[in-house]
Structure 1
Amino acid sequence: MLKEIITFSLFGQQVTLYYYGFFLLLAVLAGVLILYRELKKRQLETKRILDNILWILLCGVLGGRLAYVLFHCGYYLDNLSEIYQYWYGGFYFGGAFLGAFIYVFAWLYLKKRQELLSWLDASIEAIFVSYAVASLGSYIAGVQSGKMFAESLSKHPFELYQAIAYVTLFFLATASYRYVKNLQPGDIFFAGMILSGITQFVLAFALDDSLIFRIGSLIFNPVHILALLVLTVGVIGLIMKRRNT
């Protein structure tokens, strides 16, 4: 059960504020603030951020829910009516950021194609911060998706591992922009994707085995698959960009 911050009455209705929802909101706000700061630092336009924030949030929510349903497809194939009932729980941050990123990438490609790589460099730091805050919120809220320690009744604090990892990635990205010379637009973004893919792949070994699914004799961990996809896109993007410069 998710931990509550406070429960109060509003217009005769009981309203409960959960740590989970509070940190999701905090993650969005932190991401927007970091993105604004990085855009200003790179002398890029900032006024369109708030114009698109509603669509970004919508795509993020849809992506997070869809990813959770896909990762638990065995259950939802038997309970189709619960797919849209997100209020009962079930949300994957990786899917949320993927959904939001697809929208942002499409918008940038159509509206800001000449500045696309610079915008992506700015966005990767915002993504890392948002992911770290959301993961910390999950840990504080009592979400436990880690596997059991060997010969122990406790679980790996997967969400805490993830929060620490993405805070580290954020500082690496920030330090790279400040101290690494001869960086080209897109270098930080694609390098960030590579590091994020490696990070998620390693952390996935601490996930609960219930997330693993089987197709015939093949065993899949969906987080490993997603991590490899992110890693591959990062490597291909960095290689193609370097060849074109």
Structure 2
Amino acid sequence: MDESELNFLLAALNPIAFKLGPSEVRWYGVIIASAVILAIILAIFEGKKIGIDEDTIYDMVLWALPISIVSARLYYVVFEWSYYSQHLSEIYRIWDGGIAIYGGLIGAIITVVVFSQRRHLSAWLLFDLTAPVVLLAQSIGRWGNFVNQEAHGGKTTLEVLQNLHLPGFIINQMNIDGTYYQPTFLYESLWSLVGFFILISLRHRLHLFKRGEILFTYLIWYSFGRFFIEGMRTDSLMLFSTIRVSQLLSLVIFVGSISWLLLRRYWEPQNQWYLDGQ
């Protein structure tokens, strides 16, 4: 790669994708929006197989998406209140980063439960439908953190990153103010991507998943990986300045999901299978 090609590549990693008059459109937003659109398309395809019509998915997304974005931001702001209390004008600037996945999940889960009750649909079935594509969206969305040079791990060396056989553009972007950092965004992105392929490859097997169990499998998979990856990050939200919030929540979700899955199988064996559909 010659110098001109390298300069072009580095320029492509500018946080600003393009400008519309005085407004700046950032790669962070473009990547998140692309992830959401892809997730919706895949959910629609899957919905046709289990009796969930396209309009229902659109209606659910119209409620769940904005609420989950707001809850993701509020979750982040609450645990960073010492900063935002002094910078109130920055609370709404989500395009600069600072939205928490767990906060978004909490908002989305509450929204889907309410939505399903109003539409007389199975909330478990809706969760199972969307869980794999949410995992894919999370995988893609982490690249927004990459462009913003956030959600990275501790300091490391160029030699360590090269030994991981990472592409040059990732290594270059992990050089922040002359110091190299661990690309934990990449670890979580790959972990989520593997989980997505596992779920979509298994969910159509007969008598494997009952309603709600794809959701629990998603929660078990993601929380397990997030627990360890979070321990490597330098920008974790903290509780009492000693406990990493996402690690604590990951542990609770991991144990709770396994327990709930097993108890439902034992106490409610009559639950319908996922493939029974709506």
Which stretches in structure 1 are left out of the alignment for 5+ residues? none
Shift of 1:224: 0.6
1:40 aligned partner: 48
What is the aligned partner in structure 2 of residue 51 from structure 1? 59
Alignment CA distance shift 1:5-1:224 (3 Å): same
Question: 2:34 matched to which residue of 1?
Answer: 26
Q: Is 2:16 the counterpart of 1:4?
A: yes
**Cα drift, residue 57 of structure 1:** 2.1
Alpha-carbon distance, 1:37 to partner? 1.7
Aligned 8 A contact 2:152 2:181 in 1 = yes
Gaps of at least 5 residues in structure 2 are 1-12, 159-178, 270-278
Q: 2:253 aligned with 1:230, yes or no?
A: yes
C-alpha contact (below 8 Å) 1:144/1:158 kept by paired residues: no
For 1:211, what is the secondary structure of its paired residue?
Answer: coil
- Quick one: percent identity of the two aligned structures? 20
1:147 equivalent in alignment to 2:153: yes
Matched, 1:159 2:171: no
CA RMSD of aligned residues (A): 2.5
Task: Note the C-alpha offset of 1:168.
Answer: 0.5
Task: Please tell me whether the aligned partners of residues 65 and 108 of structure 2 are also in contact (alpha carbons under 8 angstroms).
Answer: yes
Match of 2:273 in 1: none
Name the stretch that deviates more: 169-178 or 92-101: 92-101
Task: Name the aligned partner's letter for residue 196 of structure 1.
Answer: Y
Q: Deviations over 1:106-146 (max 9, x none)?
A: 21244334x3322221111121111111112322x233222
Pick from 98, 106, 116 the counterpart of residue 123 of structure 2.
116
2:97–2:148 contact (8 Å) kept in structure 1: no
Deviation at residue 197 of structure 1 after TM alignment: 1.1
1:91 CA drift (Å): 2.0
SS in structure 2 at match of 1:224:
helix
Which residue of the other structure, out of 109, 114, 133, is the alignment partner of 1:126? 133
Map 1:32-111 → 2, pairs under 5 A: 32-80=40-88, 82-86=90-94, 89-111=97-119
Does 1:171 find its partner at 2:177? Answer: no
Contact 2:72 2:99 in 1 (8 A): yes
Does the alignment pair 1:239 with 2:245?
no
Further displaced range: 73-82 or 54-63? 73-82
Equivalent position SS for 1:16: strand
- CA gap of 1:65–1:181, structure 2 versus 1, over 3 A, is same
- Pairing partner for 2:218 from 192, 196, 199: 192
Structure 1: how far apart are the matches of 2:257 and 2:14?
Answer: 35
- Partners of 2:54 and 2:89 lie apart in 1 by 41
> May I ask how many residue pairs the two structures share in their alignment?
236
Cα distance, 1:212–1:68 mapped onto 2, change above 3 Å: closer
Tell me the alpha carbon deviations over residues 80-122 of structure 1, each in whole angstroms, 9 at most, x when there is no partner: 5543454665322332233223211221244334x33222211
Aligned-partner SS, 1:178: coil
**C-alpha spacing 1:183/1:159, structure 2 compared with 1 (3 Å):** same
SS in 1 for 2:203: helix
The letter for the 1-side match of 2:236 is L
| TM-aligned CA deviation for residue 207 of structure 1 | 0.9
Q: Secondary structure at the match of 1:183?
A: coil
Larger Rg: 2
**C-alpha distance in 2 between matches for 1:129 and 1:99:** 18
- Cα distance, 1:52 vs. partner? 3.3
- The one-letter code matched in structure 2 to 1:172 is I
